A and B are shown apart, each in its own frame.
Chain A
Amino acid sequence: MALMQISEPGQAPAPHQRKRAVGIDLGTSNSLVASFRNGSVQTLPDLDGRHLLPSVVHYGEQGQMLLGNAALAVAGEDAENTLMSIKRLMGRSYRDVAQADVLSPYTLVDCGEDMVKLKTRVGDISPVQVSAEILKTLAERAVETLGGELDGAVITVPAYFDDAQRQATKDAAQIAGLKVLRLLNEPTAAAVAYGLDEREEGAVAVFDLGGGTFDISVLQMQKGVFEVLATGGDSALGGDDFDVEIARWFAGESIATLSAAQRRQLLNACKAAKETFANPELNQVEIEVLGQSKLLTREQLNALLDPLIDRCIRACKRALRDARLSADNILNVVMVGGSTRTLRVRERVAEWFGREPLTSIDPDKVVALGAAQQAEQLVGNRQGDEVLLLDVIPLSLGIETMGGLTEKIIHRNTTIPVAMAQEFTTFKDGQTAMAIHVVQGERELVEDCRSLARFELKGIPPMVAGAARIRVTFQVDADGLLQVAAKEETTGVESQVQVKPAYGLSDGDIADMLKASWASAGEDKEARALREQQVEAEALLQALSAALLADGEALLSEDEQKALLADMEKLHNEREQGTAASIANQIELVGKASETFAERRMNASIKKALAGRRVDDL
């Protein structure tokens, strides 16, 4: 049995098994999946050889679903049931998006405080479900191409995404059945794809203008660590807005009277005109749509786009200020996102940064390629040349205090993971509960920030006002997701609170969506649960075996090693013969049994890191 080998010193370990890991760029207009194949990272095409999957889902009359190009093909004739650009709805309430989205052909459903939904003929659909369908399609493509189940995925998100948007993305991955190794910021992924981590050390700006979002990130590369110094941007600004500007110019006032299908036609025509202008030779384009025809010159186009590009430049300015750098400190500017093909954007960026931006990698693929590279490393296929990507939290986290004001607890651009604690007290005698409202944003008034969660701390022992000392800890993990724990310090009463963003999905919602996705896949729930636990058990056993091989001798006594191995062997047997529940149970037991080992390994690596530094200094 493979497992026993690790207890026999000197015996060769099981041959290294290559894992299947992918990078996924879940984009506003298009999505991609990439993986490491034949010595390099590549985006994976579908059966027709197309790499980009339009992020579009169509719900048909017979309940059938179309994805990507097939969905796009029917968008003109059935706009209301063709969901596109849904990334900008992720983790958003109706109030957030209703104004910015007046030109969407589909109908939004106001769900109050909860995430907005989309009205279709098959019912109200959550943006998370639509994203899950796109992820599932890409995952299936990867499984076929790579020849087996995936071990993990890195999914990219705009650096500017807040907690609710990140959580929504992670929920979508869960519904699609993907194991998320990391939510990675898109600009960071792009810089990795350009191999800037292997070039000269210094500051890099990543200018990422996609269909619906704009991100600017300033990164610093030094000695194998890629650190995000600052991020900024606008999560509601992108190439789609360019199309809308052109459409407004074309149709004038009458734009409000167009039907959904007409709007779609108009926007498509404007988008096509914009793309034609990517040819530097052309100076004017005739737009013909809705029985009208108008001539657009490059000068007019530039004048239409400049106010939008100005917004990008202002965000760049701010990001550089946050990073305490000036434009001439930037060694490289990386261009990402299809909208950076617009020549006016390149011109203005080159002018402002005082250098030509990098454009050699396809701006649509660069993020997925970088994500695949990182996935390859995180899943454990690459060793030795590891790059560490340190991200920051894009928006401050705070709580509501008296008078509707926010008190910031974790500031914008703080490196994550991060934990901060804050002490609160009671203001009434005998008070046993306390309401806490967590918000995210930079503004001083709570109503101007995003409400992330409201929760109540209960079971505070009754004391006189001001005597209780309640320590609330905010923990943000490497994906930028928040958890809150609270503890009454004088008595030690503890309460763990899992913060689910108010705009997110409840665990019940996710369970329902999972069930729905099984039903549509014709899958048996029990079988799927069992398979998931088996995969989980296998991953844990592999990780522990590798850890024992590396550090078992040094960090554990012989008895400790034996005890842990015995538990692992039980899990191994359970995995072969057990039920989903019994495997889960044994996973929990092995997890507990390996706690001391985990702690010692962490301490050992800290010591080693510092020892390494001291040796370097000599």
Chain B
Amino acid sequence: MTDFNPTENFFQLLGLPQQFELDQAKLSQSYRQLQQSVHPDRFAAEGERQRLLAVQKSSQINEAFEVLRSPTQRAAYLLKLAGVDSDLSSATFRDTDFLMQQMMLREELSELSSASDPEAALDKFYRELDTAASNQQAAFAGHYQAGDYMAARDVLAKMHFLDKLRHEAEQKEASLLDY
């Protein structure tokens, strides 16, 4: 038998093709099947070493799953595998449409607290973010498939921006709704 290779990439680990488009159902299925066989609970009655090993393998599979199921993390990971410098600080924004959109979204976010129904306003904001995010994901997929990694990296930077906005919205939500 050949040994499991710990350096094999997350796509191989989960038995999926190395590409941006992802069959979510397939990802979940592989993930569950792998966890069924390596989770520490499967070795609860066994020796300490076997249990420790299970914790490590299970963690690795969890990490792979986390990275692949998040579009932004998956995109960043694909570029890393392609040997593209992941430093996004040099990414350029000549896309005025995107900048406009960002400004509008930011404004909307800052006005959330004074909305008459903050919850409804938040829901609307999240929907807008979702739409913007799926547009960028489609753009990333196109550039990546065409092998235009530099363009793909610029899109990734935009994806990060949108994620950051979402994160800020979630924090705002927490303070608004008094969690």
Q: How far is the CA of A181 from the CA of B92 in the complex (A)?
A: 53
Q: Which A-B residue pairs are the 3 nearest by beta carbons? A: A603-B4, A605-B37, A378-B44
Q: Give the distance to chain A from B49, nearest Cβ to Cβ, in Å.
A: 5
B101 at the interface (CB under 8 A from A): no
Q: Say whether B47 contacts A378, CB under 8 Å.
A: no
Q: Say whether A477 contacts B48, CB under 8 Å.
A: no
Q: Which of A227, A442, A477, A606 contacts B55 (CB 8 A)?
A: A477
B57 at the interface (CB under 8 A from A): yes
B65 at the interface (CB under 8 A from A): yes
Q: For residue A389, which residue of chain B has the nearest CB?
A: B41
Q: For residue B126, which residue of chain A has the nearest CB?
A: A321
Report B39-91 residues with CB < 8 Å from chain A CB.
Answer: 39-42, 44-50, 53-60, 62-63, 65-66
Residues on the B chain within 8 Å of A418, using CB? 59, 62-63
List 18 A-B pairs, Cβ < 8 Å: A152-B44, A152-B45, A181-B45, A379-B44, A417-B40, A418-B62, A442-B174, A475-B56, A478-B55, A478-B58, A539-B45, A547-B50, A592-B49, A598-B49, A605-B42, A606-B34, A609-B34, A617-B26
Q: How far is the CA of A218 from the CA of B28 in the complex (A)?
A: 17
Q: For residue A414, which residue of chain B has the nearest CB?
A: B66
Q: Say whether A613 contacts B33, CB under 8 Å.
A: yes
Q: Say whether A599 contacts B41, CB under 8 Å.
A: no
Residues on the A chain within 8 Å of B44, using CB? 152, 181-182, 378-380
Residues on the B chain within 8 Å of A616, using CB? 29
Q: How far is the CA of A425 from the CA of B22 in the complex (A)?
A: 37
Interface majority SS (helix, strand, loop, mixed), chain A: helix
Residues on the A chain within 8 Å of B40, using CB? 417, 477-478
Residues on the A chain within 8 Å of B107, using CB? none
A152-B45, A378-B44, A602-B57 are known contacts; what are 18 more A-B pairs with Cβ within 8 Å? Answer: A182-B41, A314-B178, A380-B45, A388-B42, A390-B35, A419-B63, A539-B45, A540-B47, A554-B1, A598-B47, A598-B53, A606-B34, A606-B57, A609-B33, A609-B36, A609-B37, A609-B38, A613-B33
Q: Mark A400-440, 1 if CB is under 8 A from B, else 0.
A: 00000000000000111111100000000000000000000
Q: Say whether B179 contacts A314, CB under 8 Å.
A: yes
Q: Say whether B41 contacts A594, CB under 8 Å.
A: no
Q: How far is the CA of A531 from the CA of B85 in the complex (A)?
A: 58
Q: Which of B28, B50, B57, B59 contacts A222 (CB 8 A)?
A: B28
Q: Give the distance to chain A from B82, nearest Cβ to Cβ, in Å.
A: 22
Residues on the A chain within 8 Å of B1, using CB? 554-555, 600, 603-604, 607
A225-B36 contact, Cβ under 8 Å, with A380-B45, A416-B62: yes
Residues on the A chain within 8 Å of B39, using CB? 388, 390, 478
Q: How far is the CA of A542 from the CA of B36 in the complex (A)?
A: 22
Q: Mark A220-250, 1 if CB is under 8 A from B, else 0.
A: 0011110100000000000000000000000
Name B residues whose Cβ lies closer than 8 Å to a Cβ of A. 1, 3-4, 15, 26, 28-30, 32-42, 44-50, 53-60, 62-63, 65-66, 170, 173-174, 177-179
A601 at the interface (CB under 8 A from B): yes
Q: Mark A583-600, 1 if CB is under 8 A from B, else 0.
A: 000000011101100111
A176 at the interface (CB under 8 A from B): no
Name A residues whose Cβ lies closer than 8 Å to a Cβ of B. 19, 151-152, 181-182, 222-225, 227, 314-315, 317-318, 321, 377-380, 386, 388-390, 414-420, 442, 475, 477-478, 539-540, 542-544, 547, 554-555, 590-592, 594-595, 598-610, 612-614, 616-617
Residues on the A chain within 8 Å of B38, using CB? 602, 605-606, 609
Q: How far is the CA of A544 from the CA of B66 in the complex (A)?
A: 33
Q: Give the distance to chain A from B63, nearest Cβ to Cβ, in Å.
A: 7
Q: How far is the CA of A317 from the CA of B48 in the complex (A)?
A: 40
Q: Say whether B41 contacts A388, CB under 8 Å.
A: yes
Q: Say whether A415 contacts B66, CB under 8 Å.
A: yes
Q: Say whether A591 contacts B49, CB under 8 Å.
A: yes
Residues on the B chain within 8 Å of A223, using CB? 29, 32
Q: How far is the CA of A544 from the CA of B63 in the complex (A)?
A: 29
Q: Give the distance to chain A from B33, nearest Cβ to Cβ, in Å.
A: 4
Q: Say whether A478 contacts B62, CB under 8 Å.
A: no
Residues on the B chain within 8 Å of A390, using CB? 35, 39
Q: Say whether A594 contacts B55, CB under 8 Å.
A: no
Q: Say whether A417 contacts B59, CB under 8 Å.
A: yes
Q: Give the distance to chain A from B173, nearest Cβ to Cβ, in Å.
A: 7
Q: How far is the CA of A605 from the CA of B57 in the complex (A)?
A: 11
Q: How far is the CA of A222 from the CA of B36 in the complex (A)?
A: 12
Residues on the A chain within 8 Å of B36, using CB? 224-225, 386, 388, 609
Among B30, B53, B59, B65, chain A packs the most CB atoms within 10 A around the CB of: B59
